[in-house]
Structure 1
Amino acid sequence: MFFIKRRHVSFIISFLSWFLFCIQGAFGQQNDSGTVVYYENLYIEGKTFYLPVFQEKNQNSKEGGSISDKHFVDFSSNWNNKTFNPYRGENISFPFQLNFDTQKFASPISRKMVVTSRYGWRRGRPHRGIDIDLRTGDSVRSILDGKVRYARYHGGHGKTVIVRHNNGLETVYAHLSKFLVKENDEVKKGQVIAKGGITGNARGSHLHLEVRYHGKSINPEYLFEFTDETEIRSNVVFVTRKWTTPHYHRSTRKSNIIVHTSEEDIALLQEQQKKVYTVKQGDTLYRIANTHGLPISEICKINSIRKNSVLRVGQQIIISAAQ
């Protein structure tokens, strides 16, 4: 085992940056081994590096032009069958990159998908997934290939199955009435894993579906189109803090979906959407934040002011919609 002194970390980071730049410059998208199909995330001192993973030239692909079928995840990392969130306390740098090796997902239910409650703020509390209508006893299916990490009762979720997928995502299927898989089972996209129900804190039978990455919930509709087409929005997606924070969304309406496929388009969109608000008589930080769908803390951070700051009529406040 090697122990690295803290003063050496900056040197290691600089070396990794140079090394990865050389790899990506030399190989581009192809080398003698094949095509770059995935970048494994490496976190060091709050910085993110992307290690290229290559597809062999003679390796068969699926779905015509989609990325390799190989597993990109070490399923033993933070693998815990007894804990709902084994990543508790882990910090993630934003934005982070997700890669999908398919263009479609399987519907989690057999009937037409009807979303009855969305990701976002609901009755004064965060709703970290979406609710899809079903009847007790309906089949519930895994939306992607993966491995069952958790299959047991969990508080308000009731009977719950969690499947970890090849790109590091985990999908949570809650309020179930019956398990049809057990922990550590490998499952295929579209495979029936449970029966729907009303266990836990549920108001009527429905499927509560969450999408998580290293413990962080992500608005499922940012990644997946829950329509008859069941399309994944992009093979490469960058996830920003907005899409992992329920406060930025409302459970009663679908958020405006703008998918980021590079860090550059995130920066461009943030600049385009930045605007200035002029304080009027009777305005408060709470009123301004609520009108623009932003938390007060976000406005305070952008403008370097405190929550108890006194606003002046005519004062200009920078309002930048979170991305």
Structure 2
Amino acid sequence: MKRIVLVVLLFIGFNSAIAQDRFIDPVDIESIENKVNSFISFMTEEELDFLIDYSNHNSAMAEFWDNDSFNPYGYNPLKKPFKLTFADTVYTSPILINKVITSRYGWRNRRPHKGIDIDLVTGDTVRSLLDGKVRYVKYHSGHGKTVVVRHSNGLELVYAHLSEQLVKPNDLVRKGDIIGKGGVTGNARGSHLHLETIYKGNHINPEYIFDFGKNNNIRSSTIWVSDKWMTPYLHSSKRQSTIDIATSLEEANAVKANTLRTHIIRKGDSLYGIARKYGVTVAALCKANKIKSTKILKPGQRLIIGL
């Protein structure tokens, strides 16, 4: 069946080249069929699956495919929770050295940090975590030299602050393929890989999907994503949140994003007063925000109450 699907797809591709002719010679059709059959006869079942997954036959690949826009979906709030599925159980580390996360998804310096930063040296090779198709290769404001790879389930991975981009738009990549070299382009302080996970224009905490420990595990074959894992101010960029994977709709619905977990500092606020207001200790506030009890609070800053 998969071979039939691929034959049809390739046939359509060849046929489009002569679609302007009002009459198609049956000999031409037979020639196209022979070329297609010859092409796929040397392919393994895995290779056939790969080509089908990353063809327009897969609606997740065809939807809003745009090589010029970093986010072709624009403002696209999704109904949550939603489900992501993965065929693989492990990913390939984007770098060859041990992964050291220097900044996490979450609230950072009054702003949302929508990915994770992985330490590297400028010039280190950066590899694709999963099989995919390159959608975007450009210099993007803030991100610097960027590569965006879309995967067969619709998830996109953003590789930013690169010094070199070694792939082209529409390239097919296998997990572990080199897609660029690490650097410090864009709005970056020190060389690192900034990695984002985006689904239909919406950022997800990468650590909810991928375990960045030494085993390179994808956390589950089925992951339900709720608001909690798409809301940066519920997380601290300075420490890892407690990860509880929802593998069913029921589990995901039980997860409620608690909007009272942060506090915007106002004039006259003190750590003692804030702690008393939310029923926590000053020590807990300091630990959650990686600050000292003597820190001077500035109006407009956001404090994490607890995760």
Structure 1 length as normaliser, TM-score?
A: 0.64
1:182 corresponds to: 168
SS of residue matched to 2:62:
coil
1:204 corresponds to: 190
- Equivalent residues in 2 for 1:108-127, closer than 5 Å: 108-127=94-113
Q: Which amino acid aligns with 2:195?
A: L
CA drift at 1:265: 1.9
Matched, 1:234 2:220: yes
CA drift at 1:267: 3.8
2:278 corresponds to: 288
Q: Would you say the 8 A contact 1:152–1:160 is kept in 2?
A: yes
Q: Which amino acid aligns with 1:166?
A: S
Against the structure 1 CA distance between its residues 264 and 177, is the aligned structure 2 distance closer, same or farther, given a 3 Å change threshold?
A: same
Q: Which runs of 5+ in 2 are unaligned?
A: 3-43, 261-271, 286-305
CA drift at 1:268: 4.4
Per-residue CA deviations over 1:234-279 (Å, capped at 9, x if unaligned) read: 0000000110110110000000100000111234455xx9x9xxxx
Matched, 1:85 2:71: yes
Matched, 1:169 2:139: no
Paired with 2:67 and 2:46, the residues of 1 have a C-alpha distance of 31
Q: Would you say the 8 A contact 2:77–2:202 is kept in 1?
A: no
Matched, 1:254 2:244: no
CA drift at 1:74: 3.9
CA drift at 1:89: 2.0
- Equivalent residues in 2 for 1:26-45, closer than 5 Å: none
Structure number with higher strand proportion:
1
SS of residue matched to 2:61:
coil
> Rg bigger for which structure?
2
Q: Would you say the 8 A contact 1:158–1:200 is kept in 2?
A: yes
Q: Would you say the 8 A contact 1:108–1:140 is kept in 2?
A: yes
Higher relative contact order (CA 8 A, sep 6+): 2
Per-residue CA deviations over 1:46-99 (Å, capped at 9, x if unaligned) read: xxxxxxxxxxxxx9679xxxxx86625442210111111111122210000000
Against the structure 1 CA distance between its residues 178 and 236, is the aligned structure 2 distance closer, same or farther, given a 3 Å change threshold?
A: same
- Equivalent residues in 2 for 1:54-93, closer than 5 Å: 71=53, 72-93=58-79
Paired with 1:268 and 1:113, the residues of 2 have a C-alpha distance of 32
Q: Which runs of 5+ in 1 are unaligned?
A: 1-32, 34-58, 63-67, 276-281, 294-320
Paired with 1:89 and 1:115, the residues of 2 have a C-alpha distance of 29
Matched, 1:140 2:130: no
Q: Which amino acid aligns with 1:209?
A: L
SS of residue matched to 1:221:
helix
Q: Would you say the 8 A contact 1:73–1:167 is kept in 2?
A: no
- Equivalent residues in 2 for 1:8-47, closer than 5 Å: none
Alignment size in residue pairs: 225
CA drift at 1:228: 1.2
Aligned-pair Cα RMSD in Å: 3.0
CA drift at 1:121: 0.2
Structure 2 length as normaliser, TM-score?
A: 0.67
2:211 corresponds to: 225
Paired with 2:150 and 2:197, the residues of 1 have a C-alpha distance of 10
Q: Which amino acid aligns with 1:85?
A: N
Q: Which amino acid aligns with 1:158?
A: G
Question: Identity over the aligned pairs, expressed in percent?
Answer: 51
Paired with 2:161 and 2:280, the residues of 1 have a C-alpha distance of 32
2:18 corresponds to: none
